[in-house]
Amino acid sequence: MSLILHHLNRSRSERLIWLLEELGADYELVRHKRDPQVNLAPAELIAIHPMGKAPLLIHDGQVIAESGAIALHLLEAFDPEYRLHPAPGASNRAAFFEWLHGAEGAVFLPFLMNTYLSATGLEDSLLSQYMAGEREKALGAIEACLTARPYFAGEEFSAADVMMGFQLEAAEARGGLPETSPVHAWLTRVRSRPAHQRMRAITAED
Ligand SMILES: N[C@@H](CCC(=O)N[C@@H](CS)C(=O)NCC(=O)O)C(=O)O
């Protein structure tokens, strides 16, 4: 079996390192560096997949792009006992799917746009105002979820928490979380996990 994760420094591919560490999978990590001028991925990634973005997983020669697809693929291959995702038929399976995909969907976009708007000097634009409203809605949905339960998919930690981690750690680092936000307690819970700590030790070399 061969399992290779292509990781880009300071990027959401760190979520897949975290998931692989949670799964205890035997994998090889290939590190790539962003171009310091334009902050984009290097050409080696385009040689592997036409989008040229990270993460990319290569499992026994098959190339898989998109974090959510990679996460589901890894869970299917390495989590037969459903430690990190609810089994088919479980009452929280729909909530798990919602947050696993939300992490790259509607709840992620307004946080991502923040980065693009400041990188292009558009902080004071109409688009920026619109996105601030969207960000508030997204944070409201996240906070409502984490007020009702300790983890995104319910009482237990799951890969949905791994997928939501990147944007919430970034929001915290930017000072974008109110002091009373339940996200702080969630961050403390997930950061106490040995697999999260191993991921941080690995990404410290980014
Ligand atoms: N929806 C994709 C997004 C992938 C993506 O945009 N990755 C960024 C890193 S956060 C990247 O590779 N950026 C460098 C580039 O676009 O050249 C996923 O979840 O995997």
CA neighbours closer than 13 Å in the CB half-sphere of residue 38: 4
Range of the domain at 122: 93-194
Q: Are 60 and 102 part of one and the same domain? A: no
Taking residues 38-43, what's their average pLDDT?
A: 94
Give bridge partners of residue 63 from the DSSP assignment.
58
Alpha carbon of 81 to ligand 1 centroid (Å): 30
Share of the chain above pLDDT 90, in %: 96
Alpha-carbon distance of 156 to 39, in angstroms, equals 36
Q: Are 76 and 121 part of one and the same domain? A: no
Q: Are 15 and 66 part of one and the same domain? A: yes
pLDDT digits (tens, 9 = 90+) for 104-133: 999 999 999 988 999 999 999 999 999 999
CATH code of the domain containing 11: 3.40.30.10
Alpha-carbon distance of 206 to 203, in angstroms, equals 5
Boundary residue ending a domain (50, 80, 110): 80
Name residues contacting ligand 1 (CB within 6 A).
8, 11-12, 40-41, 52-55, 66-67, 104
On whether residue 163 sits in a domain, the answer given is: yes
Alpha carbon of 110 to ligand 1 centroid (Å): 15
pLDDT number for residue 115: 87
Q: Are 119 and 56 part of one and the same domain? A: no
Q: Are 107 and 186 part of one and the same domain? A: yes
On whether residue 189 sits in a domain, the answer given is: yes
Alpha-carbon distance of 144 to 148, in angstroms, equals 6
Alpha-carbon distance of 183 to 154, in angstroms, equals 14
Boundary residue ending a domain (45, 80, 115): 80
Domain count, the chain: 2
- Shortest-distance atom of ligand 1 to CA 55: 20
CATH code of the domain containing 179: 1.20.1050.10
Alpha-carbon distance of 165 to 121, in angstroms, equals 27
pLDDT number for residue 102: 97
Q: Are 76 and 130 part of one and the same domain? A: no
Alpha-carbon distance of 148 to 155, in angstroms, equals 10
pLDDT digits (tens, 9 = 90+) for 61-113: 999 999 999 999 999 999 999 999 999 999 999 999 999 999 999 999 999 99
**CA 109 to chain centroid:** 13
